[in-house]
Amino acid sequence: MSTETLPERIDAAIIGAGPAGLMAAEKLAAAGIAAHIFDTMPTAGRKFMVAGQGGLNVTHTEPFAQFCTRYGVRAPQVTQWLQEFGPQQVCDWSAGLGVPTMIGSSGRVFTHDMRAAPLLRAWLQRLHTQGARLHTRWRWTGFGAPPSEWKEAVPLVFATPDGEVQVHARCALLALGGASWPRVGTDGAWVPVMEQLGVPVAPLRPANCGFDAAGREGKGWTPFFAEHFAGAPLKNVVLRFTDSLGTQFERKGEFVITGSGVGGGLIYAASALLRDEIERSGRATFQLDLLPDRSAEQVLDEVQRPRGRRSLSTHLKSRLALQGVHTALLHEVLPPETLKDAPKLAAALKALPIALSRPRPLAEAISCAGGVRLEALDDALQCRCAPGLFFAGEMLDWEAPTGGYLLTACFASGVRAARGMAQRLGKG
Ligand SMILES: Cc1cc2nc3c(=O)[nH]c(=O)nc-3n(C[C@H](O)[C@H](O)[C@H](O)COP(=O)(O)OP(=O)(O)OC[C@H]3O[C@@H](n4cnc5c(N)ncnc54)[C@H](O)[C@@H]3O)c2cc1C
């Protein structure tokens, strides 16, 4: 898509050229509406490209009912979007752009080459052919007037390379993303603008994030542990966590030690519960089973075997195949007396308590919880207090784990909002 001169009054403005905004543009094009898409960055889909770096996981193959539960308290609303554009539609859409998908071992669905770039390139090309126009380096800064003064058009104000420009759109979609990874354009600067408009926003919080460890004395990892083990993976472990409300989490997987705590897949999966518990209680402690394939009795048996003059680390390595990072973690979190007491040590190997003090900052998170409250919107994702203004994507108040659930809901909400916009323009 290329930038072209813009009439002062347009039918449809989409602000945010991420998956939600671009999907809305596609659905509007199908209804015969050529949208103008605006983005603050020099190119479209920067976060989509970042998502492709670790393998673009577009959706998941689990049964639809289970899929929908991943959206937690927002499942009732998100399910409505997914009924129109769900996991199967995501796969069909990708294949339609010449990028077939493939199923990974965990049931996650990826683009066949794991990349985002070919899909984004084909998508932007098709959107351009369909009549959509992209305006990059256009930063939306707010509205030219309060909704009571909108005369059948939303007055959008942009900071552009040529100065401030006001565009009147018969309907407008905000798909500005959350506030993680601000360097790709998603800085959450829209929050105060929404509050000024009277649109309630649930506080933005990190989701699918890492955490800082409390450490044995509440001071985090010791410098020795951080220096020697940051980046070390803990594979084939089970994380168990029960929060103060009794909600239980248990999953096998892997995560990494970071310079200040823990991160990676298994931690992200538990992160919403851990984050909420820290907010409630100031701390969250999960139990780590370092030897999930051995029973407590087997572990005790091995730990109790005489070790002679061998060090604890050599003993645990030869008897239980534990590596340096495991033993270092034991030293890091357990009091020295526990390490000398075989039954206590064996119990700790099956349930090592890892205390967390805070989530890592939102800027580092994969995604963002909180956002524009769905109660402020109608079923078409149109703002109740500002008719003509629609919302989609991660800037809405829902969250989900990694696994393709994020992109699928972004696409689906873009579809939903576009249908509402088309109806408003008399083309639905
Ligand atoms: C490292 C990483 C890996 C990820 N991997 C996956 C994955 O494999 N699978 C998955 O499902 N999800 C993944 N995600 C999450 C996924 O990328 C996001 O949920 C998704 O991109 C959100 O889509 P969106 O359209 O709502 O917003 P975004 O993609 O964030 O797009 C919003 C757009 O709005 C623009 N914008 C913001 N403010 C303004 C403004 N004031 N004026 C104009 N433009 C503005 C931004 O520049 C941006 O282009 C990953 C995220 C990260 C960070």
Q: Which residues line ligand 1 at a C-beta cut-off of 6 Å?
A: 15-21, 38-41, 46-48, 50-51, 54, 56-57, 139-140, 175-177, 180-181, 185-186, 189, 366-367, 393-394, 404, 406-407, 410
Ligand 1 atom 8 nearest Cα: 57
> What is the mean pLDDT of the segment spanning 136-156?
95
Unique residue bearing structure tokens 């518990």: 277
48 Cα: distance to centroid of ligand 1 (angstroms): 6
309 Cα: distance to centroid of ligand 1 (angstroms): 56
- At 317, the pLDDT band (50, 70, 90 cuts) reads very high
pLDDT digits (tens, 9 = 90+) for 38-80: 999 999 999 999 999 989 999 999 999 999 999 999 999 999 9
Cβ–Cβ < 8 Å for 383, 199: yes
Ligand 1 atom 27 nearest Cα: 177
> What is the mean pLDDT of the segment spanning 17-40?
98
pLDDT digits (tens, 9 = 90+) for 73-82: 999 999 999 9
User: Cα 195–393–356 angle (5° rounding)?
Assistant: 80
Domain spanning 9-206+367-424, CATH class: alpha beta
Give pTM, 2 decimals: 0.96
Kindly tell me the burial class for residue 175, based on how many C-beta atoms sit within 10 Å of its own C-beta (0-12, 13-18, 19 or more): buried
Mutation choice for ligand 1 from 381, 406, 415, CB with most ligand atoms inside 8 A: 406
Ligand 1 atom 20 nearest Cα: 407
Ligand 1 atom nearest residue 189's Cα: 41
117 Cα: distance to centroid of ligand 1 (angstroms): 14
Closest to 250 in 3D by CA, of 269, 222, 278: 269
Mutation choice for ligand 1 from 26, 176, 193, 395, CB with most ligand atoms inside 8 A: 176
- At 4, the pLDDT band (50, 70, 90 cuts) reads low
Closest to 179 in 3D by CA, of 406, 375, 415, 361: 361
Cβ–Cβ < 8 Å for 25, 37: yes
386 Cα: distance to centroid of ligand 1 (angstroms): 24
Average predicted confidence (pLDDT) for the chain: 96
238 Cα: distance to centroid of ligand 1 (angstroms): 30
366 Cα: distance to centroid of ligand 1 (angstroms): 9
pLDDT digits (tens, 9 = 90+) for 334-365: 999 999 999 999 999 999 999 999 999 999 99
Locate 270 and state its tokens. 């538990």
Give pLDDT, residue 2.
Answer: 43
Could you give the dihedral angle defined by the CA atoms of residues 266, 272, 275 and 281, in that order, rounded to the nearest 10 degrees? -110
Model confidence at 177: pLDDT above 50: yes
Ligand 1 atom nearest residue 394's Cα: 26
Ligand 1 atom nearest residue 177's Cα: 27
- At 151, the pLDDT band (50, 70, 90 cuts) reads confident
Give pLDDT, residue 218.
Answer: 87
Ligand 1 atom 26 nearest Cα: 393
Strand partners, 57: 110
- At 428, the pLDDT band (50, 70, 90 cuts) reads confident
Give pLDDT, residue 280.
Answer: 97
pLDDT digits (tens, 9 = 90+) for 194-252: 999 999 999 999 999 999 999 988 899 999 999 999 999 999 999 999 999 999 999 99
- At 295, the pLDDT band (50, 70, 90 cuts) reads very high
What are the sequence ranges of the domains in the chain? 9-206+367-424, 211-359
